[in-house]
A and B are shown apart, each in its own frame.
Chain A
Amino acid sequence: MYLSGIKLFAFAFALLPLQAQNPIGGFESHPAGAKATAVTYLFPEQITIPADKPSPVDLHFKVAQGLHVNSHTPRTEDLIPTTLSFPDSAAVRLAKADFPPGADYAFAISPSEKLSVYTGEFIVHAEFIAAKGEHLVEAKLRYQACTSDTCMPPHTIPVAIDVIAK
């Protein structure tokens, strides 16, 4: 009985790493049924800032692997820029949003036509002004994503931040 218990323990211990291994590789987990988006808002989910004063907040986003989105300042007018918008609210205002410069990108078949894009992680340096109290801000990031061959329609994701102003 004692030996059987040890064998069972050894079997379970050997099984654990196999079960835990992801056969496909790492990828951001999404709630069941949710469609993956090209851009994910990473953090912060909650901030504490002084009330009624412009306060710097760095908003972190991640573009899914294999995709790019136009930067805030694409090279031509007809391309859709990445933008951040705040709901009309007296409680929390977006005083400033500095987007990073885009990186050069060209489609393989047309290397001379450079685009200005974000890939991987990018940070928007924002400034919030909040009235005293706790506020849930539901900002929005609009972007237009492409792969190396195709483009997808513009899309907007929610950027939810719990703002505590003291």
Chain B
Amino acid sequence: MVVIAVVVFVLGLLTLAGWANWQNRTQAAARLQAQQAQAVLVADDNSGSLHMSSPLVGKPAPAFTLTNVKGEKVSLADYKGKAVQINFWATWCAPCKIETPWLVELEKQYAPKGFEILAVSVDDLDKDDKTQLAKDIAGIAKGAQNLHIDYPVLIDGDSIGKPYGDVDVFPTSFFINRKGTIVAASFGLTSKDDLEANIRKALGEEK
């Protein structure tokens, strides 16, 4: 009788242990999901700079046509033969404001060599309300003006986020060489030196 009671007790403990294990695995899965959602960045080389690798590196840059803040259509194909940086940003993105002045300087420095930046805004647009849409676009234009951006500012970046790997952290940049291949990607605020290194890579000037 005692043995049966002990066996029942042990089986109960094993069941409890199994339940605790399932709970822990659930929590571990949730943590992994959260890490992905938070886009935690890691140092992956000797430079100490922060990166997330992109499966798009080495592949042709997805084609797109967007509208700029002046209402003109702009296609990636318009920049064939140039090195291009596609910079996903938003007016509400504080690290983007730190990065943008570097980009403005680098664009001026490398434009004579055939380098262009396309700023792709991911600010929300109210497409159902024309008045609000005009305000939204004006807000983006003002934000770009405040940052002294003199390269093209495109709107509705969310519409091309998917082909670029579901861009959901900002700033995010893709560096495209003259042949239209993505040669580097950067996620988050890095440094002016890192950005310049990627621009040089896109221009084929890699050291």
Residues of chain A touching chain B, judged by Cβ–Cβ distance below 8 Å, are: 1-2, 5-6, 8-9, 12-13, 15-16, 19-30, 32, 34-38, 64, 66-67, 78-80, 107, 109-110, 113, 115, 144, 146-147, 149-154
Whether, in the assembled complex, B98 has its beta carbon less than 8 Å from a beta carbon of chain A, the answer is yes
Partner of B98, one of A6, A19, A110: A110
Closest CB-CB distance, B12 to chain A, in whole Å?
9
Number of interface residues of B (CB under 8 A): 51
9 pairs from A and B in contact (CB 8 Å cutoff): A8-B10, A21-B24, A22-B27, A29-B27, A109-B98, A147-B40, A147-B41, A149-B190, A151-B90
Q: Please encode chain B, from 77 to 106, with 1 for each CB lying within 8 Å of some chain A CB and 0 for all others.
A: 000000000000011111111100000000
Inter-chain contacts of B37 with A (CB < 8 A): 35-38, 152
Whether, in the assembled complex, B133 has its beta carbon less than 8 Å from a beta carbon of chain A, the answer is no
Binding stretch for chain A, among B54-62, B111-119, B164-172: B164-172
CB pair B10–A150 under 8 Å, yes or no, is no
Q: A19-B17, A149-B188 in contact; A32/B26 too (CB < 8 A)?
A: yes
Provide the bound-state CA to CA distance between A115 and B94, in Å: 9
Q: A9-B9, A113-B98 in contact; A1/B171 too (CB < 8 A)?
A: no
Provide the bound-state CA to CA distance between A15 and B19, in Å: 13
CB pair B95–A151 under 8 Å, yes or no, is yes
CB pair B191–A150 under 8 Å, yes or no, is no
Closest CB-CB distance, A79 to chain B, in whole Å?
6
